[in-house]
Structure 1
Amino acid sequence: MSLITPSNRSKGRRKGGPRNNENNRIYGNPLPVIFNTPTERPPIYKALGLFGIPIHEILNPHCEGFVDVATRSVWVSDSKQSMLLWQRGFFGKGDLSRSEPSWLARQINARKQAGKGLTSEEITAKRRAERKQFKLDRAQAIAAAAADAEAAFAEGRVVPTPGVAPDGTRLIPSAATWKPSTSLEEVPQLTQDDDDEGDGDTELEEPLENIEHLQLTFPEAFFLSWTLDCLTVCNSEGEPLTLAQVWTLFQDAHSPTLLLSIPPPQRRFDNPFLVNYAVYHHYRSLGWVVKSGIKFCVDYLLYKRGPVFHHAEFAIVVCPVYEDPADQTNSPFDLQNASPFSWSWLSTINRVNSQVQKTLILTYVTIPALSRLREDVLSSPACLAHYSVREVVLRRFIPARMRD
């Protein structure tokens, strides 16, 4: 059982502000599979409900993705299915976007920009531009205040308070009072097409084709296929694969001999796909939204509800532990963090995540010994029952802040 469940944690930093109500409507379903109560039901349904028999119908989207071994991912090219998987559980990421597949929406906004309906990436870009402009304005004000103080000192006058006008007005802007200039607010409008003369007629423009696809990692794709049964994985020829074929292919994709047309090595419990999927499945089954943490030098980030609601509360570092040390010696896989790491590395990772208000968690995955289990156990996902997951929570000690 996990030591960190969504119910016993305090609320994370909220995002969105007034948009929360709209986000609650769009992202109200935590998983692609939803349970719906039919509006028109025969009278017998009421009788079944009295006896405790479920009267809900299951709505399964049954999406389709294509496996790409080179990138170790599954691509969902249908735009409706991509948005469905994103809005119901935040699975995958757009290959042309930071997270949400919003490339088409950004292109449409670029054609008819009115300052409204900005996507999350455009809002982030605007906020970063404002932050950069604030730093420039502040640096210029500080330099001007220093020059005035030096001039007053050279003339023998009383040096005024740096950055303060004679009437008491502060000349150096602060983050709380600074306002972006008019030219900065008009930056998004500069992305309009040069051929647009501003007559508002966009019907003559060539319609945009959505070339973005949703990119699922192997753990995400297998969780959707096996646990929820709402994703069909196809090969490069478009032929659907069985669950057993997907299970085998995802393991073989991590073999260093796969691209050399050499038969893959024997099935092993320390396959990177099995280790990472054990962690992914562990946290997903506890209700967390699991996303990649490469931005913060970790393996995974845990969100309470999703990226649009809160910032990630926890940063996960996967630490494989061999039950039999001999398996690590003869392993063809060089698992990251399987060997003892240095204190300087741990301090660096902990400091990075402390600065962004995330709690670092070392997730230890115990890999079963080959001498204890037969190799044919790995032929099905039932082998995951032999893995164990343990967590160690780390917090960076800051004496000046933690005395109280």
Structure 2
Amino acid sequence: MAPRWKGKAAEAKALAEPMSTIVSRLQSSLIESNSQGLLSGCSVLLAAHPEQTELFNHACFGRPIISAEKDKQWFQLSLEEALYLCSVMKCIKVVGENKCEKNDEELWRYMTSKKVGFPFLFKAYSHLRMKNWVVRAGTQYGVDFVAYRHHPALVHSEYAVLVLSDEDDNKNTRLKAWSDFHCTLRLCGSVAKTLLILHISKNGDGAIFPSSLENYCVEERIVTRWNPEQSRENQTIVQKESCKS
């Protein structure tokens, strides 16, 4: 399925300013300002000055929170976004309610306790983000994430992403029955998205810590509905005969 750009100039605008460039600028700005995020339940709150606000919006990290403060804008980061900025891009620090900085292991324990399957969701999120896809929550489509080629203002999301793992193989979970596939594919088709399954395999035992994520394999699988008319060798002949009749 080809990208569906929003307007004639959208593709040119995206090519002129690649997502990798925007994210790199955000990274530099956050490092320079020694930015800190505050753990708050199942999210991380981070304050941004006006320049960073624009970069956060363009890079599609977090969601802005309405605030009365004029000199700063607060962003609510998902756990995946916060850990990606902290442990992968290394451009923010995260503190708890006591204002003490959390190290990687403390942060990991906290986040895995707050979200079921977080290790695999984070691996999938970081896998797509490092390929310069914009990744957003996919709850409204019944999937884990949706992936955009660039900013959502310029292009519609192309992929509806489901994250599966070795743990899922040993349990009766999603996509174990044909009806699960059928329902998910029908939904993806109705919203013009391709179903992308990211299957994550462990290489070894133990918990996944941010520093060892590279030891886990991600297998990408695209699932589509088969249209027999698109596979017929005599399709052209059939079409011509239909026109004649």
Question: Normalised by the shorter chain, which TM-score bucket?
Answer: 0.7 to 0.9
Distance 1:316 1:68, change over 3 A: same
Which residue number in structure 1 is paired with residue 113 of structure 2?
A: 252
1:364 to 192, 196, 199: 199
Deviation at 1:221, TM superposition (A): 0.7
Q: Deviations over 1:146-204 (max 9, x none)?
A: xxxxxxxxxxxxxxxxxxxxxxxxxxxxxxxxxxxxxxxxxxxxxxxxxxxxxxxxxxx
Which residue number in structure 2 is paired with residue 236 of structure 1?
A: 97
Which residue number in structure 1 is paired with residue 243 of structure 2?
A: none
1:13 correspondence with 2:37? no
Deviation at 1:318, TM superposition (A): 0.9
Distance 1:59 1:273, change over 3 A: closer
Q: Deviations over 1:120-170 (max 9, x none)?
A: xxxxxxxxxxxxxxxxxxxxxxxxxxxxxxxxxxxxxxxxxxxxxxxxxxx
1:274 to 119, 131, 138: 119
Does the aligned pair in 2 maintain the 1:32–1:61 contact within 8 Å? no
Task: Report % sequence identity.
Answer: 22
Distance 1:250 1:336, change over 3 A: farther
How high is the TM-score relative to the length of structure 2? Answer: 0.75
More helix by percentage? 2
Which residue number in structure 2 is paired with residue 345 of structure 1?
A: 180
Does the aligned pair in 2 maintain the 1:63–1:232 contact within 8 Å? yes
Does the aligned pair in 1 maintain the 2:84–2:126 contact within 8 Å? yes
Distance 1:235 1:284, change over 3 A: same
The 1-side partners of 2:117 and 2:13 are apart by: 39
Which residue number in structure 1 is paired with residue 151 of structure 2?
A: 306
Does the aligned pair in 2 maintain the 1:318–1:365 contact within 8 Å? yes
Q: 1:364 is paired with a residue of what secondary structure?
A: strand
**Code of the aligned partner of 2:137:** S
Does the aligned pair in 2 maintain the 1:365–1:389 contact within 8 Å? yes
The 2-side partners of 1:401 and 1:219 are apart by: 39
The 2-side partners of 1:355 and 1:252 are apart by: 35
Does the aligned pair in 2 maintain the 1:323–1:366 contact within 8 Å? no
The 2-side partners of 1:314 and 1:349 are apart by: 12
Q: Deviations over 1:218-257 (max 9, x none)?
A: 1111110111111121212333323332223222334xxx
Which residue number in structure 1 is paired with residue 165 of structure 2?
A: 320
Which residue number in structure 1 is paired with residue 57 of structure 2?
A: 86
User: Which ranges in structure 1 are unaligned for 5 or more consecutive residues?
Assistant: 1-8, 37-57, 96-102, 105-207, 255-270, 329-334
The 2-side partners of 1:317 and 1:246 are apart by: 24
Mean Cα deviation higher: 74-83 or 214-223? 74-83
Does the aligned pair in 1 maintain the 2:26–2:56 contact within 8 Å? no
How many residues align? The count is: 229
How high is the TM-score relative to the length of structure 1? Answer: 0.48
Does the aligned pair in 2 maintain the 1:323–1:367 contact within 8 Å? no
1:66 correspondence with 2:58? no
User: Which ranges in structure 2 are unaligned for 5 or more consecutive residues?
Assistant: 236-245
**Code of the aligned partner of 2:35:** C
The 2-side partners of 1:336 and 1:280 are apart by: 20
Distance 1:240 1:358, change over 3 A: same
Deviation at 1:322, TM superposition (A): 3.3
More strand by percentage? 2
Which residue number in structure 2 is paired with residue 132 of structure 1?
A: none
The 1-side partners of 2:160 and 2:37 are apart by: 28
